[in-house]
Amino acid sequence: MRKYAALLIIFAAANYQIKAQDAKFDSIVVTGIKELYNIEFESANNTFQKLLIDYPNHPAGKFFIAMIDWWRILLDTATDQYDELFNEKLENVISQCDKILEEDPDNVDALFFKGGSIGFRGRLSSLRDNWLSAADDGRIALPLVERAGELDPENVDVRLGFGIYNYYAAVIPEEYPIVKPLMIFLPSGNKELGIKQLKSIAVSGKYTKYEAQYFLMTLYYNFEKDFHSAEGYSILLNEEFPNNPVFERWRGRLALKNNDLVLADSIFKDILSKAEKNFRGYNTLIAKREASYYVGYHYRSVGKYDSAQKYFEECIKYSIKLDKNNDSGFLVNSTLYLGMIKEFTKEYAEAKMYYEKVLDMSEFGNSHSLASDYLKRIEKNEELENN
């Protein structure tokens, strides 16, 4: 999830933009969006199917039905089982929008949803490291959203795309120089303006309020390093959607960043409890790995080493299933911490085993130098105890 957020400059059109139709239309859309963020996919599908039936000539129904698959992807990015279906649904939206635009080139809704669909197609491409495809989709989508904004300048929700673009177009080239060549033919960004636009939408957006809050949370965390501001948005999202595992995991991370280890422990234990109860999105390996790691981290910090060991071992079990080309930080740190626990309890043979495993793993932070230092420390302690 953090990766795709970091590179949204190349597909900033991807957002829930929509021109108001009537009270009935608005009510259906707002209800469906809340169900979607609550991970109530069956209810959301029923709601958006109603939108599709009642407004068959409007692209919103097909677009929001596709968003259900987008959230399925976000809940478990380790699998690509929904990728093809999601892209097929986006192509259906684009096709419907093209037919509308053939008859009415300035149809705001068709421009919005075509741009949004292409933008989400680019977001998925970036999530799967297909950067050229993502960049090309960004090139196609941005002018569509800009045109829609020109035609309907009073639409608050359209500003989400501009806010995202302004911020990330300014920040990402500095953070990721490899992206700079992709920006040559795109407008420059304005970080301060982008944050201002997103803050406005986070308060007054009709359909995009929660998405704006989400982007503010992630940009404050990833780039501004303003963890208190990020935590504020995580609280808003988690309280509004308490059974959304993406939002709850962010809430736990930010509690940790702000040194509230007790709260973080409570949140991640709640995640594990929901996983045991088979709550949707909580019973994924990704969610259980992260929660196990941080619960183990807390137990270690308060000296409950047996409990810490249990959760670090769980984290390692999940990591072995998830890690592909590189060993994750969860795997490396869990192994390192197990070594430290065994060293503290003077079980030196097992401690050495864990430290040596760390040296065989991918480097994460300064893991190799720490493991080497700890091995030397054990040798010295063993010499002292034998003398």
Both 56 and 178 in one domain: the answer is yes
Report pLDDT digits (tens) over 205-225: 888 899 999 999 999 999 999
Note whether 160 and 291 are same-domain residues.
no
The CA distance from 195 to 164, in Å, is 8
CA distances from 30 to 35, 48, 109 (A): 9, 10, 17
pLDDT in tens, 239-266: 999 999 999 999 999 999 999 999 999 9
Same domain, 54 and 174: yes
The highest-confidence range among 7-11, 157-161, 181-185, 343-347, by mean pLDDT, is 343-347
Farthest CA pair distance, the chain: 91
Q: Are residues 280 and 183 in the same domain?
A: no
Q: Which of 120, 123, 18 is nearest to 61 (CA)?
A: 18
| Cα–Cα nearest to 370, from 361, 358, 353 | 358
CB-based burial of residue 131 (10 Å sphere; 0-12 exposed, 13-18 middle, 19+ buried)?
middle
Provide the domain count of the chain. Answer: 2
CATH number at residue 40: 1.25.40
Are 36 and 161 in a shared domain? yes
Residue 11 inside a domain? The answer is yes
Do 180 and 283 fall into the same domain?
no
Least confident among 90-94, 273-277, 380-384: 380-384
Residue 255 lies in a domain: no
Q: Which has the higher per-residue pLDDT, 130 or 307? A: 307
The more confident residue out of 292 and 184 is 292
Q: Is residue 231, in this structure, part of any structural domain at all?
A: no
* 149 lies in the same domain as 58: yes
- Give the closest residue to 67 by CA, choosing from 51, 56, 78: 51
Q: Name the amino acid, one letter, at 58.
A: H
Whether residue 295 sits in one domain with residue 150: no
Tell me: do 80 and 184 sit in the same domain: yes
pLDDT confidence of residue 19: 45
CATH code, 349: 1.25.40.10
Domain edge (last residue) among 168, 201, 234: 201
Residues 162 and 58 reside in one and the same domain: yes
- Mean pLDDT in residue range 36-57: 97
pLDDT for res 256 = 96
Residue 41 has pLDDT above 60, yes or no: yes
Which of 178, 201, 224 lies at the terminal end of a domain, its last residue?
201
Whether the per-residue pLDDT at 384 is higher than 80: the answer is no
Single out the residue in 182, 201, 220 at which a domain terminates. Answer: 201
Q: Is the pLDDT of residue 17 over 50?
A: no
Q: Are 315 and 289 in contact (CB under 8 A)?
A: yes
For residues 44 and 147, what is the distance between their CA atoms, to the nearest angstrom? 30
Residue 132, SS3 per DSSP: helix
**pTM of the predicted model, to two decimals?**
0.88
Predicted local confidence at residue 273, as pLDDT: 98
Q: Which domain holds residue 111?
A: 2-201
Residues 21-25 have a mean pLDDT of 80
Residue partners of 121: CB distance under 8 A and separation at least 6: 11, 87, 90, 137
The pLDDT of residue 185 is 64
Rounded Cα–Cα distance for residues 218 and 270 (Å): 22
5 pLDDT band, cuts 50/70/90, is very low
Residue 369 domain-assigned? Answer: yes
Residues 182 and 280 in one domain: no
Examine residue 326 and state whether it is found in any structural domain, yes or no: yes
CA angle, corner 248, sides to 246 and 251, nearest 5? 115
Per-residue model confidence as pLDDT tens digits over 305-358 = 999 999 999 999 999 999 988 899 999 999 999 999 999 999 999 999 999 999
Determine, yes or no, domain membership for 243.
no
Q: Is residue 42, in this structure, part of any structural domain at all?
A: yes
- H helices present in the chain, as ranges: 2-6, 23-37, 41-54, 60-75, 83-103, 108-127, 131-151, 159-175, 191-204, 209-219, 227-240, 245-257, 261-276, 285-301, 305-322, 329-344, 348-360, 367-386
Of the listed ranges 113-127, 257-271, 287-301, 308-322, the least confidently predicted one is 113-127
Residue at 66: amino acid letter: A
- Look at residue 28 and tell me whether its pLDDT is greater than 50: yes
The pLDDT score that the predictor gives to residue 103 is: 95
Residue 214 lies in a domain: no
